[in-house]
Structure 1
Amino acid sequence: MAVSFHSGVVMAEKDQEKQSYRSPLVARYASKDMVYNFSDAKKFSTWRKLWLILAKSQKKVGLNITDVQLKEMEENIDNIDFKMAAEEEKKRRHDVMAHVYTFAQCCPAAAPIIHLGATSCYVGDNTDLIVLRDAFDIILPKLARCIQRLSQFARNYKDLPTLGFTHYQPAQLTTVGKRACLWLSDLCMDLRNISRARSDMRFRGVKGTTGTQASFLALFDGNAEKVEELDRLVTSLAGFDEAYIVTGQTYSRKVDVDIIGALASLGASVHKICTDIRLLANLKELEEPFEKDQVGSSAMPYKRNPMRSERCCSLARHLMTLCMNPLQTLSVQWFERTLDDSANRRICLAEGFLAADSLLSILQNIFEGLVVYPKVIERHILQELPFMASENIIMAMVKAGGNRQECHEHIRTLSQEAAAVVKQEGGDNDLVERIKRTDYFNPVRDQLDQLLHPKSFVGRAPDQVVQFIEKEVSPALRPYSEVLEGKAELSV
């Protein structure tokens, strides 16, 4: 009998949420703080706070609004009847008016002055800006913690030589700490870009239906100074230093481009870092944390898959794709505004921050538990170093009176023989032993061990690590010095 995948069974009331789709960003990955930040409770309570500060500011500037009305509004900020609001929106086809009505039902005295002179974007756009600002304030400390953990790792391994790779082929040696500084450099740029996007944000304020403030000018009998004072008061009470001087009905959607662009750029950084970790895990040189009871594969019990790094790459890929959405929205905002920016922004802006938040939690967890295998790294170095050291040996021979061209030919011939052993026989690189057995190299035989020491090939890498952390990383972390503690806990 075929199994039916279309069940009509209705679950118990307590299991109702299991019958509804929930974004995996909410259900599996993002922090509780970020999930709440984009919740209906935060959104609609913020609408009510904005109506309250509008009324407070209007009273201060001279409108006939009573303390009783303000107190009534303040006492009902979180007293939201979501069922009533949903029913009203279905009837009115207008979310803001549905919530104006719902708020008025529990604030009968204040009902006449709720939303006075405002357009829907007064609560809609200003709430978005508050939520986006608060989202930045959640992820910036997380990013700082990732940078701080990785900088500790870089310091710890600043002197450990490792093969560098160009084109994913063995290249001149670097150090494990120096490679970590390449990752750090990108993350520090992300910290700068995201901080800049945060500090560049302003408030929309009270601008009216097309941004001209005409309705507020009418409220104050043509007194422009009172309108400007109202805008300043509302902006300040909302926690912003400045408001945009000019807007259409909405704040410019270019703000969203800057915000999601900074987050998408972070996604690219994380994807690159975690791809490097995955490649190093394959080489068994470095691993992300792997817990005692963790299962790497349902079929292959021996496997230690880099699933955290893979998850980061997966989420980062989604985050990077989001940057096209605000770009296209900005490009088609005709004149003072169109409403084709509404549904997609509800998805894109929230998912951008939820994804970034998820990435940073996982990344911090990875950085706190990175495991390095120096012996494996050393073995890989010894397989390649003799080839890389050939130029040093040639120079030493020339200093001892040899001929550069003759020496080059001897080493070329021996290198080809050693390479054949490695590639065709699967043996170890025996170039050094071949050089030692060749009489031609007798003048430098006693120098070979020194010439082949890995630390002779890392250049200024250890010094660069220290210099970079002291001059760039530490100053960037200084504003976050009080929020760097705490381990990252993953739900899955």
Structure 2
Amino acid sequence: MNDHHVYQNPLVTRYASREMAELWSSQRKFSTWRRLWVALAEAERELGLNISEAQVAELRANVDQIDFEAARKHEKRLRHDVMAHVHTLGDAAPSARAIIHLGATSCFVTDNTDLILIREGLSLIRDQLVGAIDGLAEFALRWKDLPCLGYTHFQPAQLVTVGKRATLWCYELILDYHEIERRIAALRFLGVKGTTGTQASFLALFDGDHAKVEELDRRVASAFGFEGSVPVSGQTYTRKIDSQATAALAGLAETAHRFGSDLRLLAHERELDEPFEAEQIGSSAMAYKRNPMRAERMCSIARFAMGLAPVAGQTAATQWLERTLDDSAVRRLVLPQAFLAVDALLSLYLNVVPGLVVHPAIIGRHVTDELPFMATENLLMAGVQAGGDRQELHERVRTHSLAAAARLKEGAGDNDLIERLRNDSAFAKLDFATLLDPLRFVGRSPEQVVDFVASEVEPIRRAHPNLLGQKRDVHV
């Protein structure tokens, strides 16, 4: 059928990177199965089984040349995907047909392949995370001194700086970075464990030699860069590993959703804009619109990714004894899509962050509108230091504040509280210009940005110098 006549996964066609889509492809999956069969045969030969170098060489020569149509026909006949590919490889490497998959069960290729793909997928995610962290840190330093309204309950609160707010977004990504690193470091191979995890078939092959079975397990794991395999298993590795990996990805999606939501709020306030191309259309009806569509997409995809974690957890919770097959179909859906979705989120980070547009004039206007109310305590204290009576000054500030607020609620375009106080003889001695400098109200925001980048970001930058300065285009 024509591709336009069947459903296409938008994670592949619109959102995720080509690199992540290829990682979870059929080509990558089944060629990895073949690499596993090669590693198994080679290790078995080295440990004394009757397998020739020529047989191993013929298997290795056919790792990437897969006849998918032949595999499809075998699977239609056999109703077993692993055996279909055993037969397909046997057709291509006839001298090795008799020793393919020797002693193994299906999960030798399916589960070990998934672990290989999970490790590489997490590494790709980690690498993009570094780029997003680096970009946000650069943004935070650039704008560390620009005062802006802070918000609690999305109501104006004490001032922060644009850069300080960016450190909040960046720190959550750093927490995700460390969690992804932990998952990569903890990941182990399934290895060669057999039908119920006892390695009985391999023990039979090696005539009861436990040391050779243990060495076989180590050699196959080492061939794929794993320091070791799981200490115990049923036929499968525990699905808790899937749950932990998916939870780490969902945690990153939580971070992305928060970032996207904040961008949308700030776009509404007209303080910050995501990139917008010259010919980009915000609305098919309202030509003036400049919608934060990237941030909206980030929230949308993040919601999907967060929803996958409970499915992985439910799968881990409902495994039966040494294995059950009701995990198979759901894992085919959840694992690739969790990685594709989070890859898409990080692609958005790497597109949005380098192109963020700050509007200092709008930010300054919002500060000017709200700062008079926030400054009243400082003005009160300065008035007392200038010789005034604290209680009398408090009453005057209260009266002027209520009058200015009422005026604003009636539609006034500016906040005249400071003008009222300036004209009040009780405050005549005050240097209003100095007292109302917005930087006096941001606390340690600039210093916190510098300290944060030095202590939290720079170690990550030093660990991955080749991953800095990343940018990515997205399909809009």
Match of 2:145 in 1: 159
For 1:22, the equivalent position in structure 2 comes to 8
Counting only pairs closer than 5 Å after superposition, residues 338-377 of structure 1 correspond to structure 2 as 338-377=324-363
SS in 2 for 1:341: helix
Partner of 1:7: none
CA distance in 1, matches of 2:346, 2:309: 18
Deviations 1:307-346 (A, max 9, x none): 1111111100100111101110011101111111100000
Q: Distance between the aligned counterparts of 1:209 and 1:406, measured in 2?
A: 86
Distance in 2, matches of 1:149 and 1:133, equals 25
Quick one: structure 1 residues 401 and 487, their matched pair in 2 at CA, closer, same or farther if it must change by over 3 Å?
same
d(CA) in 2 for partners of 1:368 and 1:431? 39
Mapped contact 1:141–1:484 kept (Cα < 8 A) = no
Instruction: Tell me if the contact between 1:421 and 1:427 (Cα under 8 Å) persists in the aligned partners.
Output: no
**What RMSD in Å do the two structures reach over aligned CA positions?**
1.0
State the Cα deviation string for residues 46-82 of structure 1 (Å, max 9, x = none): 0011000000000111101101101110111122111
Distance 2:133 2:330 in 1: 32
- Alignment of 1:104 with 2:90, yes or no, is yes
Amino acid at match of 2:219: L
Q: 1:283 aligns with which of 249, 269, 274?
A: 269
Note if 1:267 corresponds to 2:260: no
TM-score if structure 2 supplies the norm length? 0.99
The answer to whether structure 1 residue 484 and structure 2 residue 456 are counterparts is no
Contact kept? 2:16, 2:344, Cα under 8 Å: yes
Q: Which residue of 2 aligns with 1:52?
A: 38
Distance 1:242 1:218 in 2: 23
Tell me, what secondary structure is at the counterpart of 2:410?
helix
Q: 2:64 aligns with which of 64, 74, 78?
A: 78
Aligned counterparts of 1:424 and 1:196: Cα–Cα separation in 2: 56
Paired with 2:135 and 2:469, the residues of 1 have a C-alpha distance of 10
Question: Residue 391 of structure 2 aligns with which residue?
Answer: 405
Partner Cα distance (1:325, 1:479) in 2: 34
Residue number in structure 2 paired with 1:187 = 173
Q: Which one of the candidate residues 458, 465, 468 is aligned to 1:474? A: 458
- Structure 2 unaligned regions, length at least 5: none
Count of residues in Structure 1 that have an aligned counterpart in Structure 2 = 476
1:368-409 superposed Cα distances (whole Å, 9 cap, x missing partner): 100001010000001000000000011111112222222111
- Structure 1: give runs of 5+ residues left out of the alignment: 1-10
Residue 193 of structure 2: aligned partner: 207
Residue matched to 2:228: 242
Q: Give TM-score, length-normalised by structure 1.
A: 0.95
Is contact 1:361-1:489 (8 Å) kept? yes
1:406-448 per-residue CA deviation (whole Å, 9 max, x = no partner) reads 211111110011001111123210000000111222232xx11
Written as runs of structure 1 = structure 2, the 5 A alignment for 1:286-435 is: 286-435=272-421
C-alpha displacement of 1:486:
4.1
User: Alignment partner of 1:221: what SS?
Assistant: coil
Letter in 2 for 1:281: A
Runs of 4+, deviation exceeding 6 Å: none
User: SS at 1:163's partner residue?
Assistant: strand
Q: Deviations over 1:196-241 (max 9, x none)?
A: 1111111000000111101000000000000000000000001111
Q: Deviations over 1:232-277 (max 9, x none)?
A: 0000001111111111111111101110001000001011011111
Q: Which residue of 1 aligns with 2:20?
A: 34
Partner of 1:453: 437
Give the 3-state SS of the residue equivalent to 2:208 in structure 1: coil
Q: Which residue of 2 aligns with 1:64?
A: 50
The answer as to whether partners of 1:125 and 1:251 remain within 8 angstroms in 2 is: yes
Name the SS of the counterpart of 1:164 in structure 2.
Answer: strand
Query: Residue 149 in 1 paired to residue 135 in 2?
Result: yes
In structure 2, the CA distance between the partners of 1:481 and 1:64, relative to structure 1 (3 Å rule), is same
Maintained 8 Å contact 1:25/1:358: yes
